[in-house]
Structure 1
Amino acid sequence: MKLPAFFIAHGSPLLALEDNEYTRFLERLGADLGTPRGIVVFSAHWDSPEQLITVDGQHETLHDFYGFPYEMYSLTYPAPGDPALSRRISELFTTNNLPHQPVLGRGLDHGIWVILKKMFPAADIPVVALSVDSLRSPEEQYNIGKMLAPLRDEGILLIGSGGLVHNLRLLKQDDQPEQWALDFDAWIADGLTAWDLPSLFAYEKRAPHVRDAVPTYGREHFVPIFYVMGTADEGRRAQLMIQAYQYGTLSLNCWMVD
């Protein structure tokens, strides 16, 4: 069965410990998806000018954050890798003339394991992590995702993990979203629903409050949306599954594309 693909905001690492509307949504989503043959994640926390692919047979858990409760550093997500799936991805990139490199021993960053721990807590589904390049053009990012579209017909769940509104320098003490964050998310939602690639590709010039929502130091959290959209270029359908906020300036949203 052909699987949809998803953009999933990973928010604060504390989501791994929390029980709220968004974490319960992720739990339901995982249950609804059943057991994919494998999971491939474009992670905002792996930003590289070269396309990188994990090739491990077994992943370690990266605690790539600081200043959090001790309990966070004891959490693990010992998911297996899938070297055969990594080779399949390499074949697709090679066919499309995309230079890429295998990486052994990186581990899964929190942008990956925090959401997967909620969706698939048993950690028994193979995971392959892919880097993003925040300096590529949106069109290039979209086309890289498009290269992996065949995987959706092969039982593979494709995810882009990041955050559409992600500004750590403007965090608040409460979760009430700032109006500019709402306006930006609404503009993105209009573009996704209409699959308006010209507007979305020009988001840095057209989107309202773009410098607050996607600061230059945090562009890597936004770009996974383009990678995952590319995997659904054939159908070009997008559906907002949930919209919530943390600390006023972190949007927690999940978009399904098909």
Structure 2
Amino acid sequence: MDTRYAPVFLSHGSPMTALDAGPAGAFWRALGRAIDARVAAGGAAPSAIVALSAHTLARRAVTLAGARHEAVHDFGGFPQALYDLRYDVAGVPCLAPHVEQLLQWAAIEVEHADAGGLDHGIWVPLRDIRPRADIPVLPLAFPPDRTPEQLFELGAALSPLIDEGVWIVGTGSITHNLRLGLPRAGDVPELPASAAFRAWFADRSAARDWRALWQYRTLAPEASFMHPTDEHLLPWFIAAGAGGAEDVPIRLHASVAGGHLGMDAYAFGADARALADDVEAAAAM
């Protein structure tokens, strides 16, 4: 029975993506249908999701082990329709001690919090992927002052969860400079800086050039422009570490919102190709 799910990185976009997700939303819905297709074929949906978001950060790793989660509207100045959206889902308190133990075995500091709530980096894509909210979620805060290589190691510590049917989902944005303003609606040409950064990241990923990827801030074109701060790219490295260094990361989706906000998604590890094939088949339905 197929119970393994490749760790993924999803670009979640601005909060407005919840109202108009564009091509990324179509991809998220196909990802959800791919899970349903596995179940229909005799496999299983993920037993739980461990979610790592650019908007849930702490000085050290923290499991948010509430029994129930609701959508947190962690933003301001948006249309009321956005604040009316909800996403209520079960938590996974019983999984938190196991996650904490895995991190402790890797000498990574971790704390436990009996807290609930999903930031928009988590609930925005999940509303399209699992609109029935039928997979419980354990958010895991991470420290944004760690290097990409250190966060890759944090992800590697979580890798045993894959064999247990747990889906590791990192969310951020492959490019993220909101100093350029919120993405405008409509067909807006992509900024050359965004295109250059996304292409470099895809190329270095395909080459499994982990050293270059860990040093993206000094090696990637337009890195400081496309990521004035690191936090939106850091979940990529955690999901990648969970998948491991041996397999080529696969870009599941590539699009840009409003000319500069990259919405690319990646899968990692030995199960990445199977997930990519499943999503491709689901997208054709």
TM-score band, normalised by the shorter chain? over 0.9
Unaligned segments of structure 2, at least 5 residues: 37-44, 270-285
Unaligned segments of structure 1, at least 5 residues: none
Name the CA distance, whole Å, in 2 between partners of 1:106 and 1:181: 35
Name the CA distance, whole Å, in 2 between partners of 1:136 and 1:69: 35
Give SS of 2:132's match. coil
Instruction: Name the structure where strand makes up a greater proportion of residues.
Output: 1
The answer as to 2:72 corresponding to 1:70 is no
The answer as to 2:22 corresponding to 1:20 is yes
**1:232 maps to which residue?**
243
- Give the fraction of aligned pairs with identical amino acids, expressed as a percent: 33
Q: Could you tell me how far 1:60 is from its partner in structure 2?
A: 2.2
**1:42 maps to which residue?**
52
Q: Could you tell me how far 1:173 is from its partner in structure 2?
A: 3.5
Name the CA distance, whole Å, in 2 between partners of 1:111 and 1:20: 16
Give SS of 1:22's match. helix
Name the CA distance, whole Å, in 1 between partners of 2:197 and 2:50: 28
67, 87, 95: which one pairs with 1:85? 95
Q: Is the 8 A contact 1:133 1:220 kept in 2?
A: no
201, 209, 219: which one pairs with 1:196? 209
Runs of 4 or more consecutive aligned structure 1 residues displaced over 3 Å after TM superposition: 171-175
Q: Is the 8 A contact 2:90 2:136 kept in 1?
A: yes
**1:167 maps to which residue?**
177
Give SS of 1:237's match. coil
Equivalences, count: 256
Name the CA distance, whole Å, in 1 between partners of 2:97 and 2:47: 15
Which one-letter code corresponds to 2:47 in the other structure?
A: R
**2:199 maps to which residue?**
186
TM-score, reference length from structure 1: 0.95
**1:154 maps to which residue?**
164
Give SS of 1:101's match. strand
Q: Is the 8 A contact 2:210 2:245 kept in 1?
A: no
92, 98, 115: which one pairs with 2:108? 98
Name the CA distance, whole Å, in 1 between partners of 2:23 and 2:102: 37
**Compared with structure 1, are the counterparts of its residues 19 and 169 closer, same or farther at alpha carbon in structure 2 (3 Å cutoff)?**
closer
Which one-letter code corresponds to 1:144 in the other structure?
A: L
